[in-house]
Structure 1
């Protein structure tokens, strides 16, 4: 896992923004990691390609190209990508009130927002406050408030032993241990484990693992691996049950999803 040097990280710690919106863009190589940090302004993270893994306290978000994550001022977060990502990081002045939320949230991106972000990313840092560039920035900021929130994220338990279990499951996508076996490792009963897990995450352990596999499927589909290889890596016996699960959740096959994201 590659960590940013203090010199590189200082680029994220500007005393103030030069404009109401400042876009920082970079290509993150595979297994790149921004350590926990926070800003004195709001931030919108968007991966044009690849998948971002954003960790907050008690939550982990997988952000594919059809989503963005809004991080309000002072929200501590870390960012990681397993297979690389083309990152657009939008910094927005703290005075911005378009999104009336003081907590992080995942939003569904629209084709309009995507094109506005890509255009704004090419502006000079001190873009003109008169004319086309400022008008585009204002349209982008106004449009953010119209984006719909997504419920496709992965809550992360705070309790140390549950968090450690979830980390193991994340690092071992093909782990097919049953709830009974996981409970035994924690010296508890399946019922108690599931009750504790539901209390901390709002979902059962079974639901959580399904969501984990779905998020990791999206992540793996950004690579060149075959559908069969991805299915086996996620612990499926063959491609068929994986394709069935994916189609049930998204309404399209993994191959169709991948093709859409390549355009």
Structure 2
């Protein structure tokens, strides 16, 4: 999103419209089973970029990025789903997903009765190889399938019970791949401006864009989000870097410059501290898998 052409008032109004329920378009409830009674099922998405729009499901969903990058936004946070990670979205949670170009994901859905403690928010999970292979295997059972052979349904019910138990355990191991959101119009506008100018943004730039002093900006971030603007900037840069490095042909040097690092060594240190591996290692792993 580009916000450089917006006025300060436009920034604040954009943030307000996106956060206040009374000002948002109606959000859909999508019945993925289409009236069926399957305890579990799946679907595969592979194609061009897509913005789903705000919606919720009647079933729990775990979505695994086989290739490319997916972004998931809720009223409480903005999540990045890089390749080889999974997003957990509990039933009834309003959200929208942005499928970046050249993305391929597999999603598995569960009847709410299968997961005892689903929580009420989205999470990004580092899934085990076993869960990954079971999610791919689950593609033989589509979520919107009609009632099939009784013996096959018995097999699928047992399969999804087992996978649901594994996913329930994985929910305790969350990856910190999200940015907070807020209904505070000034902070929301400052966050939008920051994300749109990661290559060169400064606290002074942001404070002037939202018409507050730099001191007030820092206080508002700490009071509203519980973290400093500087920490928010770093996290936004690291998440953007992960998304960029997942793209074919993207170099580490290009990525470092795109997210505002003049020094390759300082970018490498920051990335390794945030992700637990160097940018080069991450890029090779994502490409190899």
Band the TM-score falls in, shorter-chain normalisation: 0.7 to 0.9
Give the equivalent residue in structure 2 for 1:213: 237
Distance across 2 between alignment mates of 1:249 and 1:82: 23
How many Å apart are 1:12 and its aligned residue?
A: 5.8
How many Å apart are 1:64 and its aligned residue?
A: 1.4
Give the equivalent residue in structure 1 for 2:153: 129
1:82–1:229 distance in 2 versus 1, CA, 3 Å = same
How many Å apart are 1:142 and its aligned residue?
A: 0.9
Moved over 6 A (4+): none
1:19–1:206 distance in 2 versus 1, CA, 3 Å = same
Which of structures 1 and 2 has the larger relative contact order (alpha carbons within 8 angstroms, sep 6+)? Answer: 2
How many Å apart are 1:44 and its aligned residue?
A: 1.7
Query: Which structure has the highest helix share of the two?
Result: 2
CA contact (8 A) 2:81 2:177 kept: no
**TM-score normalised by L of structure 2:** 0.79
Distance across 1 between alignment mates of 2:116 and 2:47: 29
How many Å apart are 1:258 and its aligned residue?
A: 1.6
**Match among 162, 167, 189 for residue 139 of structure 1:** 162
How many Å apart are 1:28 and its aligned residue?
A: 3.7
Give the equivalent residue in structure 2 for 1:61: 79
Q: Deviations over 1:147-204 (max 9, x none)?
A: 1123331112222232233223323331x23213322332222222122122332211
Distance across 1 between alignment mates of 2:158 and 2:32: 27
Moved more, 193-202 or 98-107: 98-107
1:198–1:28 distance in 2 versus 1, CA, 3 Å = farther
**Alignment RMSD, CA only?**
2.4
How many Å apart are 1:13 and its aligned residue?
A: 5.1
CA contact (8 A) 2:29 2:56 kept: no
**Match among 114, 119, 129 for residue 96 of structure 1:** 114
Distance across 2 between alignment mates of 1:155 and 1:73: 21
1:17–1:244 distance in 2 versus 1, CA, 3 Å = farther
Give the equivalent residue in structure 1 for 2:10: none
Give the equivalent residue in structure 2 for 1:6: none
Give the equivalent residue in structure 2 for 1:183: 207
Distance across 1 between alignment mates of 2:30 and 2:43: 10
Structure 2 alignment gaps of length 5 or more: 2-27
Give the equivalent residue in structure 2 for 1:156: 181
Structure 1 alignment gaps of length 5 or more: 2-8
1:11–1:18 distance in 2 versus 1, CA, 3 Å = same
